[in-house]
Amino acid sequence: MESYLSNRKIVTVVEGSTSDELLISCGVPQGSVLGPLLCLIYINDLPNGLDSTTLLYADDVSLHREGSDIQRDFMIMNEDLAKVEDWSNKWKLDFNIKKCINYASVIYCGSTQKVLGPLHTIQYNAALAASGTVGGSSYEKVCIELGWIPLTVKHTNTVEP
């Protein structure tokens, strides 16, 4: 395993020009068979101690809460986000803030509140602009179909109603 992860070098080739070799001191080889398994082993303890439902898929993490007290749920979600931030600092694994757009289901307190398509599009695009994400995304239609709306995106990794 040590030989698999140690003393690796990369080069970049652009239009026939090759860069000098660069020693890689961390991470696993991209596109390797063991890469996804090692990633899962590395992040496997992330959900420990969180009160929100946590889904891990490859290098993606999703936190979910379900409840009827929206203020309490936001408080718990913010506490969990702080724990995730502590975890990422401990293991030196940064989250890409431009890819961290928070969504909340508008289904709560036993009632369903539908969001109009044009309003949702404006809110969604505002969240993309606020986060610095450029262009649209492939999951926009899914979010609209599920009735999800973006929450305020802050670089403090908190969510607000």
Mean pLDDT of 70-96: 84
Residue position matching structure tokens 């652009």: 14
Confidence at residue 110, expressed as pLDDT on a 0 to 100 scale: 38
pLDDT of residue 105: 43
Given this model, what pLDDT does residue 3 score?
75
pLDDT of residue 42: 83
Tokens, residue 102: 């928070």
Helices (H) and strands (E) in the chain, counts: 5, 10
Instruction: Identify the CA nearest to 59 among candidates 47, 48, 80, 43.
Output: 43
Q: Distance from first CA to last CA of the chain, Å, rounded?
A: 46
> Residues 98-157: pLDDT tens digits?
666 555 444 333 333 444 344 445 555 555 555 544 444 555 555 555 555 544 333 444
In this prediction the pTM is: 0.54
Q: Is 88 exposed, middle or buried (0-12, 13-18, 19+ CB in 10 A)?
A: middle
Over residues 33-81, the pLDDT tens digits come to 888 788 888 888 999 999 988 888 767 787 887 777 777 887 888 888 8
Per-residue pLDDT tens over the stretch 3-37: 777 888 888 899 999 999 999 877 777 777 888 78
3-state percent breakdown (helix, strand, coil) of the chain, nearest 5:
35, 20, 45
- Evaluate whether 46 touches 61 at the Cβ level (below 8 Å): yes
